[in-house]
Structure 1
Amino acid sequence: MLGNLPAETTSFVGRSVELATLDGLLRRNRLVTVTGPGGVGKSRLALRAARERRESCPDGVWWVELSPLCDPVLLAATVADHLPVAEQSTRTAAEALCGWLGDKQLLLVLDTCEHLVSACGHLIGELLQTSPGLTVLVTSRQRLGRPEERVFSLSPLPPEGAALTLFKQRAAEAVPHLSPSSFDAPARAEAAVAVCRRLDGIPLAIELAGARLRLWTVEQLAERLDSRFEVLADTRAARLPRHQTMRTTIGWSHELCAPLERLLWARLSVFAGGFDLDAARDVAAGGPLEAEGVAPALAGLAAKSVVRTRTHRGRSGYRMLDTIREYGRQWLRELGEEDEVARRHAERCRRLAHEAEAGWMGPDQLEWYERLTAEHADLRTALEYLLATDPAAALDMAASLWFFWFCCGHLREGRDHLERALALAPEPGPARDRALWALGMTAFLQGDMETALHHARRCAEAATDTESGLRAAYLLGGAILMPGDPEGALDVCTPVIDAADIDYSPGLVLCVLARIYALTNLARYAEAAAEATWLRDQCAARGERWMRAYADYMIAVTALALGRPDEAAVHARAMLAGKRLLHDSFGIALGLDLLACALAAQGEGEDGALVLGIGQKCWRTVGKAQMGAPRLTAVREECERRARATLGDRAYDLAFRRGMSTGLDQGLSYALKGDFAQGS
């Protein structure tokens, strides 16, 4: 099934009635909000309900966790990032979402919306109005207030029922020699019920308390918990009892932590997403908490359920639940360290951006892609902090992430950060020139050639070394080439390449790629093939994948033009395999068009039409089909002409529609394997 649902990492106990009720609401309503206090299990219930709905959602169930997001301006872009919407046009993120969702039947889950209520309500209203097959499930501590919203208020677990079952499970996890039967003795059973009752049946509070059974008996836990509530309960605060229970329980867990564990808890609250031990050391070590003390303190927090282990995109690490993070952030503020720790966090992310830029064009490219994707929320948080406190550093970081914006599908966000940083840091210099180039790159891939051309000319004028000159020439040549002037592009790129005294760099391979495109557009196929083969070999020797795939694409283009469609199909599939690893939707769309053309040229008209349909579906996620470029459009039109000539119009239309109705992942698998009969 399509979707991106996270793994269930916490127990789901005693919610069968609530699950059935929520499922019924989702069947009858297009917007359902699950409300309740922190820790009551809203996300748990929503995740289980989403899993139950997968079979009835042809276009999938998609999960968007919003807790790391602070800037409501980035809401639509964040939602788009979690969906297969690789929009590469100048439309707004909200417009792109509306366009992509227009004919879909899916469930969209927005988790943890209470800090973005207004923005979420506005965006959801737009999406529901333009997407009749869309259902939205929201979790929030407060309702959105939309007229079509149905609110499901989630109550805590019954103390003598599901809450007790959850407590016993957590106890068994904390203390291996305990089992459910360990609570059969009357005194122990009564104490366990008393704990659940005292904690109002709130699942997170029960889990935090259950972790203390490593140190105390159940009877001791009940007694100490009761006394702690009397001491910690804030009767002055105008909170609902269950909010007060949750806060008091977290406060009690905080008191039971060792001093260095408390300090680490506070400092770790700066992370918007997950983190590993190295990240924790970078940001949280200092003062009484020395670097070698971070690991044992982190292990202590994990044992007390303050942090939880997680695996994300193949990387192991830790995460902190929102309610617990909020408590830590309050303590960080009271310690007077909020700005200092945020600065350390931002500097770590800035270093990470520099390291990733240096390693992007090498053998660790895929690992860098996975790592930065996993740390996206923290990169965004760091940029927001730097924009507010150190615009020059924000400019440097945003420019260093050019490949993340350009190659990894975050064009809108990158353009927003770059434009804001350039406006806030107007001083001329190398960092500003790099940022202007990165901004031009985002505009170029969005199809905004006027802006790309403007920045390219400024970069060309400002270039002071070989690499900056190559990068500027690529951007300028590409912006000239795409509207249809290959001779002008060649005139820009060739002198700079010929004068370069380096063997390999991002600027060189980009500029060579632009020249190859220009040569093919001028029908100088033998020259283009030779350069594309050289480029592919250079990238392959260094383990680089992103640019190597585009070199394979150009080899396929020239092979097709030279009458070798079998060879073209081989290289088109090689290109698609590389782009699939890096989730480059633009590259995948290009590759599918080219593979379709190669298949049609081999006389396989039905397969060509089917792949062309799959490619067209992919273009709909990217934005403007073929970027509106004459050469790219011509490839598709030639494929359609050949396939129609082979099949006839009716058979062509049937095969094309079959491709359009195939899921992108499934369609790409068929295209790579050539096993089209199985997918029909």
Structure 2
Amino acid sequence: MGNLPVVRTSFVGRSSELARIERALEEHRLVTLTGSGGVGKSRLALRAADTVGDRFPDGVWWTDLSPLYDDQLLITTVCDGVGLLDHSSRLPEEALREWLAGRRLLLVLDCCERVVTSCRRLVGELLDAAPGLTVLITSRQPLGVEWEHCVEVPPLSTGADEDGAADGDRPQDEAVRLFRDRAATAAPHLTLDDPDTASAVVEICRRLEGVPLAIELACARLRESSAREITGRLASRLDALTDEALWPRRHRTLRTTIGWSHELCAPLERLLWARLSVFRGVVGTADAEAVCSGGPLTAGIIAPTMERLASQSVLQRVGDGYRMLDTLREYGAMWLAELAEDRPLAERHAQHFATVAAQAHAGWLGPSQVAWYRRIADTHADLCAALEHLLAEDPGKAVEMAGCTGLFWSCCGHLHQARGYLERALTLPPSPGPHHTRALWALGITLTLQGDHKAARRVGEECNRAARRDQDAESILSAAHSISFTYLMMGRPQTAHSVSDHALRHLPDGADDAPSQLRCRVIRLFALSALGRLDEAYEEATRLQRISLRHGERWARAYADHQLALIHMLQGRPRHAEAHARSMLASKNDLHDSLGIALGLDLLAGAIAAQGDGVEAARTSGTGHTYWRMIGHPHRGTPELGAIRARWERQAREAAGDTAYERAYHRASADDAERGLAHALERHRP
């Protein structure tokens, strides 16, 4: 259980440091790995976390803080890291403390240096609230609290004896081992075993003082230079920088090596390096082409130039994209400012991701719906950076972008961020129109999901007034959706049905393909079921399925499956209900919609219980409980489902017996949520 990232390069050396960290994690609840940039803190933390993972029954959870440039997103980033997708209106800090309180887990916070003050406060609160929590931190500086145990991460040993002589054959010469390991990838046909080359390798490692990132950058040059040539060039650069006041020794070697690598890049490679520093997360080539092209750097050469930067260790390949280490990003940002391109690139970055959000919104009702959900999830850090820029520089565009991302973020688990950005955008000087109305709709949905029904009704009415001013079909349907959804979740299905039904019976011209027409149909369907009008609900559900299939979309179709499963259960057809519940779960899993997954697991548990398998029903219900706990939803769906769930649980207990039921339920609720969901989806009943 956990979310440790996969590192594709091998781990070399560090055995003594690794042992120190393992011992420290046995004796201390807060361990901080300190050291300069590029010294290997993150990789060492990853190895240590993987090694000690068995000590923590609730897993090891990794949170990368390197995309953060201030503390505004710290809490939500940590919540994402531990799998908490809170839907309640509680403060995120409160939800995080409660989520961790009864768990024994290791939380790794990587790259804390930009948010040290906020991390100090947050970590103190979490350690107080969760006695079973251990925190491992990497940072260029300690947090500075009395219970913190610091482990300084030194450079790798370099193979120099006390007299300064080099001997690359010693087992403790970790820098040489790293050089050879990376050289095998960078220049696989190069032989390093002849005496002159071996001596040069040791000299390179000594001059680079064993700093891993510096060694990797030097290795990348073996394609065009021999080890002896690299030694001479490094010597001339490093020996020229002797001013300790200007270049503190622990930073001098790495900064000089980065500068040397920068100079050896072709001019267009240097330009792209600088421009890519504007990105916060993993960068795809299409995004890089849209943001970084211009002048001599044409869009057509972006992809091969990124590939060359990866071969020089400036970029790292991650799936289909690339990421830049924080230290190298800082250097690129420095050059971007020198080129006076920092502000124009930030603007281009923001406008590009605003366009991505608009395209995602426009593509919601169609066969690319799942792909857009994943696109929004994968570019979350850059979308946040773009919104921050637009809130300061372009209020109108900020409102438009916040409205476009609202529903995606609600499904992807970023409910607090969605609310925060929407409320900030809507406090800006208003510019009436469909974009403003859409932002009000998104805020109303977010507030309802958090259980803040009073505020949601107020925003829904404001949205309705704005929609009537717009005289726009999508705006009018969005307002109806917001209002009827709030009434449905308040336990007033008759009012929800009246609002959604009136909007659908008086569709404005051009509204047949409006996305909110489908959303209003979902509300009307749920309301019919809640009112006990099951035959009408069945007809509405099958009609909604046909419309969804025609468009190729999955979100509304999944809710049609949910209601068909519920109707079959209420009418005594559990096998049919199970099939629809599984179909719903598959769709909601593809969309990463945790609320939908939780609802589907409840239904599946009921269908299994009705067929007499109480133990499997308990296991499925336990996995559902894990998802409900993750999202903290105040009502576990619409209010009338509570009594129905209680009836299904009684059936399962009678079939399994209380002892077997409790054992299966608690085992599943303590297990990893994704593993439990995979079991539920893969299990085929006869």
Normalising by the residue count of structure 2, what TM-score does the alignment of the two structures yield?
Answer: 0.93
Corresponding residue number in structure 2 for 1:107 = 106
Corresponding residue number in structure 2 for 1:208 = 217
Question: Does 1:220 pair with 2:219?
Answer: no
In structure 2, distance between residues paired with 1:650 and 1:295: 60
Q: 1:672 to 1:280 in 2, by over 3 A?
A: closer
In structure 2, distance between residues paired with 1:649 and 1:259: 72
Q: 1:297 to 1:576 in 2, by over 3 A?
A: closer
- Answer whether contact 1:183 1:192 (CA < 8 A) is retained: no
Once the two structures are superposed, residues 315-341 of structure 1 have per-residue CA deviations (whole angstroms, 9 ceiling, x without a partner) of: x11111111110110111111110001
In structure 2, distance between residues paired with 1:557 and 1:499: 29
Alpha-carbon offset, residue 426 of structure 1: 2.8
Partner amino acid, structure 2, of 1:283: V
Corresponding residue number in structure 1 for 2:405 = 401
Normalising by the residue count of structure 1, what TM-score does the alignment of the two structures yield?
Answer: 0.94
- Answer whether contact 2:18 2:44 (CA < 8 A) is retained: yes
Once the two structures are superposed, residues 20-62 of structure 1 have per-residue CA deviations (whole angstroms, 9 ceiling, x without a partner) of: 1111111221111111001100011011111112222222211
- Answer whether contact 2:484 2:499 (CA < 8 A) is retained: yes
In structure 1, distance between residues paired with 2:547 and 2:679: 29
In structure 2, distance between residues paired with 1:198 and 1:656: 59
Corresponding residue number in structure 1 for 2:485 = 478
Partner amino acid, structure 2, of 1:494: D
Corresponding residue number in structure 1 for 2:194 = 184
Partner of 2:427, secondary structure, is: helix
Give matches, 1:237-276, under 5 Å: 237-276=245-284
- Answer whether contact 2:434 2:472 (CA < 8 A) is retained: no
Alpha-carbon offset, residue 153 of structure 1: 0.3
Question: Does 1:507 pair with 2:507?
Answer: no
Alpha-carbon offset, residue 576 of structure 1: 1.4
In structure 1, distance between residues paired with 2:666 and 2:301: 61
Paired residues in the alignment total 668
After alignment, is 497-506 or 393-402 more displaced?
Answer: 497-506
Q: 1:424 to 1:195 in 2, by over 3 A?
A: same
Partner of 1:352, secondary structure, is: helix
Alpha-carbon offset, residue 652 of structure 1: 4.2
Question: Does 1:576 pair with 2:585?
Answer: yes
Gaps of 5+ in 2: 160-172
Give matches, 1:352-501, under 5 Å: 352-463=356-467, 464-500=471-507, 501=509
Alpha-carbon offset, residue 176 of structure 1: 2.3
- Answer whether contact 1:443 1:449 (CA < 8 A) is retained: yes
Alpha-carbon offset, residue 355 of structure 1: 1.1
- Answer whether contact 2:60 2:106 (CA < 8 A) is retained: yes
- Answer whether contact 2:445 2:485 (CA < 8 A) is retained: no
Corresponding residue number in structure 1 for 2:177 = 165
Once the two structures are superposed, residues 286-309 of structure 1 have per-residue CA deviations (whole angstroms, 9 ceiling, x without a partner) of: 123233343443333223221222
In structure 2, distance between residues paired with 1:25 and 1:7: 24
Partner of 2:72, secondary structure, is: helix
Gaps of 5+ in 1: none
Once the two structures are superposed, residues 406-441 of structure 1 have per-residue CA deviations (whole angstroms, 9 ceiling, x without a partner) of: 222111111111111111233333222111111111
Question: Percent identity between the aligned chains?
Answer: 50
Partner amino acid, structure 2, of 1:282: A
Corresponding residue number in structure 1 for 2:325 = 321
Q: 1:652 to 1:266 in 2, by over 3 A?
A: closer
Alpha-carbon offset, residue 598 of structure 1: 2.4
Question: Does 1:631 pair with 2:635?
Answer: no
- Answer whether contact 1:577 1:672 (CA < 8 A) is retained: yes
Pairing partner for 1:610 from 619, 624, 627: 619
Pairing partner for 1:600 from 585, 606, 609: 609
Partner amino acid, structure 2, of 1:291: A
In structure 2, distance between residues paired with 1:471 and 1:214: 58
Q: 1:602 to 1:220 in 2, by over 3 A?
A: closer
Corresponding residue number in structure 2 for 1:41 = 40
- Answer whether contact 1:260 1:288 (CA < 8 A) is retained: yes
Corresponding residue number in structure 2 for 1:128 = 127
- Answer whether contact 1:487 1:522 (CA < 8 A) is retained: yes
Alpha-carbon offset, residue 278 of structure 1: 2.0
Partner amino acid, structure 2, of 1:631: E
- Answer whether contact 2:274 2:335 (CA < 8 A) is retained: yes
Partner of 1:349, secondary structure, is: helix
Partner amino acid, structure 1, of 2:676: G
Partner of 1:138, secondary structure, is: strand
Partner of 2:294, secondary structure, is: coil
Alpha-carbon offset, residue 236 of structure 1: 6.5
Alpha-carbon offset, residue 629 of structure 1: 4.3
Q: CA RMSD of the aligned region, Å? A: 2.0
Alpha-carbon offset, residue 517 of structure 1: 1.1
Alpha-carbon offset, residue 238 of structure 1: 4.4
Once the two structures are superposed, residues 424-467 of structure 1 have per-residue CA deviations (whole angstroms, 9 ceiling, x without a partner) of: 23333322211111111111111111111111111112212222
- Answer whether contact 1:619 1:625 (CA < 8 A) is retained: no
In structure 1, distance between residues paired with 2:611 and 2:106: 41
Corresponding residue number in structure 2 for 1:91 = 90
In structure 2, distance between residues paired with 1:649 and 1:579: 31
After alignment, is 579-588 or 421-430 more displaced?
Answer: 421-430
Alpha-carbon offset, residue 395 of structure 1: 1.2
- Answer whether contact 2:434 2:475 (CA < 8 A) is retained: no
In structure 1, distance between residues paired with 2:256 and 2:154: 18
